[in-house]
Amino acid sequence: MNPHLPPVAPSVTAELVAALTPRLRKRLDAGVAKVAGRPTVREGDVVRIALDDDTDLELHAPGGAVTSAEAVRCGCLLAPDCLHRAAAASAAPVADPADTPATGAPRPRADPPQPPLRPEQPPTAPARPEDRTQAAAARSVTAEPTEPETATAEQLTAAAALRDAAAAVLEAGAEGAGAVLQAELLRAAHTARLAGLPRAAGRAVAVVTALRAARSADPAYRLTDLTAALREVLGVAHRLRGAAGAELAGLRGTVRQPYAPDGSLRLYGLFSEPVLTATGYAGAVTWTADAEGRLYTVSDVAPGGADRATGAAGRSVRIGDTALTHRELSRAGLAVSGATVSPTGRLGAGAGVRAVRASGAAWHAEPLDGLWAVPVSEQVARALTTEQDLLFLDITLAGTVREAAGDCLVADCGGLTLRLAAAHDDPALPHRDNLRLLASARGARLRVVARLTPAPLPRALLLATSHPTDPETRVDLGLDRLLRADLPTTQTPPVPAAPAPEEAPVHLLRRRVHQAASGGRRVLAFPGNRDADAARLRRHGLATAGDLLDELHAAAADRSRDPFGRLLPADTARFGRAWLAAAVYTEELDRALCAAAWGAHLAPPSPSPR
C-alpha cells in the first residue's frame, strides 16, 4: 500500500480488476508491487505516477478520493485495458465507503433515524376516566401484534456474497490473498453498502486494508486487527438471516453516527492522545468529563501519518470560536452551549455550537476525582459491555516484565497485579520511551488513565499519568516526553508483585485462529500436535475449546477426491464456519476471563435468534 496515493473507492478498484483479462489478473500482484515502488508527484487534486521515462499514470481525486474508474488514466499504448490502472487502484489506500457514494445512486442509510411518534391530537374536552378505560380495552382487542422487521432479500444476498468473499480470503490467508481476492471483497463490500449494510461493508474494507499492510510489511500491521475484522464480517453475514428488530439494526449499523442536541455543557479536560491508524488516518483526540462523570471527546483526525499525529495536539479544537488547542484543553475546561453529541460521546462542531474557555480541574480535585472513586471492578464491567473502555486507576509501580511485544510495567492496583503496556509502538510517538523511564521509578504511586485490554490477566494500555514527582501535573504519554530529571531522586521500596496465577491455555485455540488468518487453511491442514493441544484444553476444563479446535483442524484437512483420485476444491464454507466459531468463542472467553481476573461481574448475554 502506497500512502502517497489518494484513497480509491472500493467500487472503483473492484471495477478495474474485474475488467482485466484472466492473463492480466495473474500478473496483478506483480504490477501492484511495481506501481507501489514508482515515484509520485502531486499537483493539486492530481497524483501522477511515472511508470517509465515516457509513460505516466494519473489519479484524479477532486474531493480527496478517486470515485470513478475514469479518474484513473494511463498513458500507455494498451490503455484503458492495461494492467496499470487496476494495479494503481490496488496499491492505493481504500477510501472510506461513507465518503464515496456510488455514482447515480443515493447514499444509503441502513438504519435511518426515525422521527418520534406523534400522539393523536387530544380531544377538545378532557377525557373522563371511564372513556380512557374503554379506549384502552378497545385497543387491546383490535390491535394486532407487529412482526419485527427482518433483513430484506437484497441484504441477505449481499451478506451471502460478503460471506463467500471473506471465506475465500480466509482460505488463502494474508499471505495468499492478493489483489484479485481483495478486489472481490471490495466488490462485495460495495454491494453490501448499497443494500444498507454499512457495518459489514466497513469491516470488509478494514480487512482489505489489513491485508495490504501485511503484504507490504507495514510496521503498523497487526494480526489481531485482521483477525477481528474477519471475525466481524463473517459474524454479521452469518447472523443476519435470523436477526430481527434491535439485533438487526445493530448488525446493519449506520453510515454516520447521529448527533443529538445536549444543551449546555461544562466540561473539564482529562488528557489527549494521538491517533495513528494502519488505514492512513492520524490526529488527536482530547477526552473531557462533565460534573457527573460523563465522558466527551473532541477529535481532529484526518488522512495523514506520524507527523500529523504529533502535530495535531497543537491545533485548535473544532468547537465554536474557541482558540484552545487540544493540548491546552486537556488541562483546561470548556463551556459549551447548543452542544450536539454522538452516542459515543463525541462532540459535534455544528454552526449553532458555541464554546468558550473555562477553568479546568486537577485529577485529585472535584469533579474529576470522582472518576477514580468508582470501584475498579465496576469500571472493568463497564468497559467490557460498552464502547467506553477507559480505566481510571491508582497504582504503585512494582517493576517490569518482558513479553514478546516488548517490556510491560507491572503495578499493584488495589491488590491486583496489573500489566501496563505501551498504547502505540510507532517510534515517532513517545509511548515506548516514556514506559522505559517509568520502569525505573519502582515504588512510585501514580494516578493513571489506561485502556482495558481483554486478557486472562489484568492488563491495560497506558495513556496518561500523573507526574512521578508532582501529582498535580499530568503527562499525556503519547504526546509529552518524560526526562530522567522528571523521575524521583530517591525511590521507595517497591511493592512485591504477587505471582501470576496459572493461565487457562486459551492461547492454544487463539494461536490456530490467528494462524489461519495469516497463512490460510493449508497451515492448519498439516499434521502436528493438534491432538495434544485439544487434550490439554480439556484437562483445564475447556472441553468446548477442545471440540472447536478438533473441528477447525478437521475442516482444514477435509479434501475429497473425484473418481480419478484428484483433489476436489476445499469446502471453504465449512472451514469458514469452524473458524468463526473458534474466533467468537475465543473472544467471549477472553472477556469472561478478563472479568474474572479483575473481579468484575458481567450480565449473561441475551440469547440471539438464529
Q: What is the pLDDT of residues 64-80, one digit of tens each?
A: 889 999 999 999 988 89
Q: Residue 608 has what pLDDT?
A: 41
| Sheet of strand 281-289: strand arrangement | 295-303, 281-289, 260-276, 333-341, 354-358
Q: What is the pLDDT of residues 204-246, one digit of tens each?
A: 999 999 999 899 888 778 898 999 999 999 999 999 998 888 8
Residue 272 confidence class, pLDDT cut points 50, 70, 90 = very high
Contacts by residues 97-101 (CB-CB < 8 Å, ≥ 24 positions apart)? 97/9, 97/10, 97/189, 97/190, 97/193, 97/198, 97/201, 97/202, 97/205, 98/198, 98/202, 98/255, 98/256, 99/63, 99/64, 99/65, 100/9, 100/10, 100/11, 100/65, 100/67
CA-closest candidate to residue 494, choices 443, 426, 440, 557: 443
Distance CA 19, CA 397 (A): 59
Distance CA 556, CA 168 (A): 13
AA identity, residue 381: A
Q: What is the H or E stretch that residue 446 is in? A: strand 445-452
Q: What is the pLDDT of residues 98-138, one digit of tens each?
A: 655 443 333 333 333 333 333 333 333 333 434 434 444 44
If one compares 116 and 142, the residue with the highest pLDDT of the two is: 142
Q: What is the H or E stretch that residue 26 is in? A: helix 22-26
Q: Residue 121 has what pLDDT?
A: 33
If one compares 202 and 256, the residue with the highest pLDDT of the two is: 202
Joined together, the cell numbers standing for residue 451 give: 485502556
Q: Is the pLDDT of residue 30 over 80?
A: yes
Q: What is the H or E stretch that residue 310 is in? A: helix 306-311
DSSP H helical ranges for 60-216: 84-91, 129-142, 153-176, 179-194, 198-215
CA-closest candidate to residue 189, choices 178, 200, 181, 180: 200
Please tell me the number of Cα atoms within 13 Å of 607 on its side-chain side: 2
Q: Residue 310 has what pLDDT?
A: 85
What is the mean predicted confidence (pLDDT) over 326-340? 91
Q: Residue 604 has what pLDDT?
A: 60
Q: What is the pLDDT of residues 363-396, one digit of tens each?
A: 999 999 999 999 999 999 999 988 889 999 999 9
Q: Is the pLDDT of residue 498 over 80?
A: no
CA-closest candidate to residue 202, choices 190, 215, 212: 190
The burial of 80, by beta-carbon neighbours within 10 Å (0-12 exposed, 13-18 middle, 19 or more buried), is given as middle
| Angle at which helices 179-194 and 153-176 cross, to 10° | 160
